[in-house]
Structure 1
Amino acid sequence: MTLRALAEHLPPPSARVLDCGGGPGRYAIELARQGYQVTLFDLSAGNLRLAREKVAEAGVTLAGYEQGTATDLARFANDSFDAVLLLGPLYHLLEAEERAGALAEAGRVLRAGGPLFVAFISRYAAHRDAAQRVPTWLVEDAVQAETLLTSGRLAGGREGGEGGPQFVAYMAHPAEVAPACWRAGFEVLAVLGVEGLVSVIEDGGVNVLTGAAWDAWADLNYRVAADPSIHGCVEHLLVVARKPRWRGGLRQIAQRLDAAGVRYRVVGGASPALHGVPLIVNDIDIETDAAGAYAFQAHFPEHVLEPVALREGDAYRSHFGRFDFDGVTVEVMGDLHRREGARWAPTSAVTETMVDLDGVPVRVSTLEEETLAYIRRGKLARAAQCLSYCDHGRLVALLRGEQMIMVL
């Protein structure tokens, strides 16, 4: 399952991959076979020694071996990898702050647009395992069973018996894994139940199949892996995420326009995303006045796809231009009007706030105004995504007409 996800979402070889917490190198070796430049990073010196042996046996070469903790990747520069694998570290970080730190570090060293693969142990994995192997555990160690159920924390026991290192694990609830990645600044593309429909089947059954029968089960498992209804009944969850490209381009735009005194505001899908709504942003819409649209073009001539000009369609008219920032389309609309019968009526946003984007203030329409705009345009599913993030007082004021709104 994990290899299929990697095959679907990784950039082509010879992309630079950081296998963070990769242990003895299972995935690192496979990706090296495919031509990737893999750096293996792990907390355990023993795992790295074993990895060197296995790499030699496999006849492949890794780009490097590094020892350290996933919460501190300071030896790697910003944007130094095309993809990052976190297929183990979050199993053993008990505190939410530690898990957030590991995700933040992964995001720092990952280039914009690059994929991140994050594995979690599912909340009910230990209980399911006990039901098969040691069903009396539920009563013999009732305190630990309850702690795992309610908090996901396992802190106790010694690896290798008395005197060995303490074994700790965090078992994540299926509902928390995607939000954790969104909060870290990633766009979540998929959450997959790794074991799929064959969870806890180890001996016999599908695991002894080969050929077409095995392929059929593997295909089926990958097809259903994203179904949330199975995520509580697997041992591992895999989040496939992406470091957004659009954030860097928008930071550049905001800094230059503010320095030049050009008034603007971000509207459309990027606006809710800036307010914290978990949405994948495919392009950026910017509203300004007519002079601002031409000033934008003057400041970014190397990004022009379609020069700014007064353009009129069936429903809208504006001084419109299209630009490209690292593969992200930016559409600029100056003095935007909407057709109302035989006349053109202004439709620009009238509410505005400032949002911090990685240390840069960005002007953006308020989430409440954007949400009502989605409702008026019939985009009710998108409005529903935004509603729980809205400020109740501002939303009610807009609905009551206590503040005029014009976004269409």
Structure 2
Amino acid sequence: MVELDPAIREFYRERYVEGDRLARSGHGQLEFLRTRELVRRFLPATPAMVLDVGGATGVHAKWLVGDGYEVHLVDPVEEHVEQARAVGGFTAAVGDARALDQADGSVDVTLLLGPLYHLVDAADRAQALREARRVTRVGGLVVAAGISRYAGLLEYGNNGRLSEDNVHLFTDALATGRHYDDPNGFTNAYFHHADELRAEFESAGFEDVDVLGVEGPAAPTLDNAADDDVPRLLPAAITLARLVERDPRMMSASPHFLAFGRA
């Protein structure tokens, strides 16, 4: 199996709790609800086989099983796989998006809701997309998440942490797409423009490619909201995200994109 970047492995093992990421903040809740909404919009009818690549601790696998799908989760972090197995209702194994164990055309849907932004090199992202296409049946669905080039800049610009001392971290990422491990923040990652993510899907041979903004422009508001104010703010934020999800002038205000394509 190909090796995971040691900095990324250390980040998830020692510095970051992935299990409740999509529940512990208003932004996380917004990301979860909108990701689920968008994925459900494109999913085939049940029953269908979903391969959740980079599925971490199973937050999306859990609702997919609840909806009636058969799910197998793959993640390169052993601790994530152990937690996912404890959820129950789906199978889970250690694996890498660039070298999947599944047979050709063996699944109906392949999700990559994390791998692409941790594959900093374009060749690795292309290999992961080729693997997703290989294991997905002809006409099947592949979904991948990307982080916006503007995500870090918007987050720190809205939470008071952007300063002359750290602004280079975000302007460099905006210029190159590469975010380097920050001991006080995120680990090694690649940040996309929406049209760049679309081009990677098309280069990998997918058809009917669509790219949508996930959280919309209200994500920083949710990020900085008090916990007891989140329920009041969420409905309007979701409505706003839906309204601008395809607007090329607004999509980059979403911290995440979702790309959809047919194998």
The alignment's TM-score, normalised by the length of structure 2, stands at: 0.79
Query: Which amino acid is the alignment partner of residue 104 of structure 2?
Result: N
Query: Which amino acid is the alignment partner of residue 98 of structure 1?
Result: D
Q: What is the DSSP-based 3-state SS (H/G/I as helix, E as strand, rest coil) of the residue aligned with 2:37?
A: helix
Equivalent pair of 1:194/1:237 in contact (CA under 8 Å): yes
Q: What is the aligned counterpart of 2:170 among 145, 157, 161?
A: 145
Correspondence list, 1:170-319, <5 A: 170-202=190-222, 203=225, 207-209=230-232, 214=235, 218-243=238-263
Matched residue, 2:95: 68
Q: Mark the runs of 5 or more structure 2 residues left unpaired by the alignment.
A: 1-33
Q: Structure 1, residues 43-92: CA drift from partner, whole Å, max 9, x if none?
A: 11111111123x14xxxx11x2111111111x110001000100000111
Matched residue, 2:11: none
Query: Which amino acid is the alignment partner of residue 124 of structure 1?
Result: Y
Q: What is the aligned counterpart of 1:25 among 34, 39, 58?
A: 58
Query: Which amino acid is the alignment partner of residue 65 of structure 1?
Result: A
Q: Structure 1, residues 261-292: CA drift from partner, whole Å, max 9, x if none?
A: xxxxxxxxxxxxxxxxxxxxxxxxxxxxxxxx
Matched residue, 2:110: 84
Cα distance in 2, alignment partners of residues 220 and 143 from structure 1 = 30
Equivalent pair of 2:215/2:238 in contact (CA under 8 Å): no
Cα distance in 1, alignment partners of residues 246 and 153 from structure 2 = 22
Q: What is the DSSP-based 3-state SS (H/G/I as helix, E as strand, rest coil) of the residue aligned with 1:19?
A: strand
Cα distance in 2, alignment partners of residues 11 and 152 from structure 1 = 33
Q: After TM superposition, give the deviation of residue 142 of structure 1 in Å.
A: 4.3
Equivalent pair of 1:193/1:226 in contact (CA under 8 Å): yes
Equivalent pair of 1:43/1:68 in contact (CA under 8 Å): yes
Stretch deviating more after TM superposition (196-205 or 44-53)? 196-205
Matched residue, 2:180: 155
Instruction: Extract structure 1 runs of 4+ deviating beyond 3 A.
Output: 134-137, 157-160, 204-207, 216-220
Q: What is the aligned counterpart of 1:34 among 56, 60, 67?
A: 67
Equivalent pair of 1:80/1:110 in contact (CA under 8 Å): yes
Query: Which amino acid is the alignment partner of residue 185 of structure 1?
Result: G
Cα distance in 2, alignment partners of residues 192 and 66 from structure 1 = 29
Query: Which amino acid is the alignment partner of residue 177 of structure 2?
Result: G
Q: After TM superposition, give the deviation of residue 206 of structure 1 in Å.
A: 7.8
Q: What is the DSSP-based 3-state SS (H/G/I as helix, E as strand, rest coil) of the residue aligned with 1:50?
A: helix
Q: After TM superposition, give the deviation of residue 159 of structure 1 in Å.
A: 8.0
Cα distance in 2, alignment partners of residues 200 and 136 from structure 1 = 13
Q: What is the DSSP-based 3-state SS (H/G/I as helix, E as strand, rest coil) of the residue aligned with 1:82?
A: strand
Q: Mark the runs of 5 or more structure 1 residues left unpaired by the alignment.
A: 161-165, 244-408
Equivalent pair of 2:206/2:261 in contact (CA under 8 Å): yes
Cα distance in 1, alignment partners of residues 38 and 166 from structure 2 = 37
Query: Which amino acid is the alignment partner of residue 95 of structure 2?
Result: G
Cα distance in 1, alignment partners of residues 243 and 108 from structure 2 = 26
Q: After TM superposition, give the deviation of residue 35 of structure 1 in Å.
A: 1.1
Larger radius of gyration between Structure 1 and Structure 2 = 1
Looking at secondary structure, tell me which structure has more helix per residue: 2
Q: What is the DSSP-based 3-state SS (H/G/I as helix, E as strand, rest coil) of the residue aligned with 2:138?
A: coil
Q: What is the DSSP-based 3-state SS (H/G/I as helix, E as strand, rest coil) of the residue aligned with 2:190?
A: strand
Change beyond 3 A, Cα 1:34–1:88: same
Equivalent pair of 1:181/1:188 in contact (CA under 8 Å): no
Matched residue, 1:356: none
Cα distance in 2, alignment partners of residues 88 and 201 from structure 1 = 23
Cα distance in 1, alignment partners of residues 144 and 208 from structure 2 = 11
Cα distance in 2, alignment partners of residues 71 and 126 from structure 1 = 26
Query: Which amino acid is the alignment partner of residue 210 of structure 2?
Result: A
Q: After TM superposition, give the deviation of residue 136 of structure 1 in Å.
A: 3.7
Cα distance in 2, alignment partners of residues 235 and 77 from structure 1 = 33
Matched residue, 2:78: 45
Cα distance in 1, alignment partners of residues 64 and 168 from structure 2 = 42
Change beyond 3 A, Cα 1:84–1:228: same
Equivalent pair of 2:216/2:255 in contact (CA under 8 Å): no
Cα distance in 2, alignment partners of residues 104 and 182 from structure 1 = 11
The alignment's TM-score, normalised by the length of structure 1, stands at: 0.52
Q: What is the aligned counterpart of 1:4 among 37, 40, 65?
A: 37
Q: After TM superposition, give the deviation of residue 224 of structure 1 in Å.
A: 2.6
Equivalent pair of 1:18/1:40 in contact (CA under 8 Å): yes
Query: Which amino acid is the alignment partner of residue 106 of structure 1?
Result: A
- What's the % identity of the aligned pairs? 35
Number of residues of Structure 1 aligned to a counterpart in Structure 2 = 227
Matched, 1:103 2:129: yes
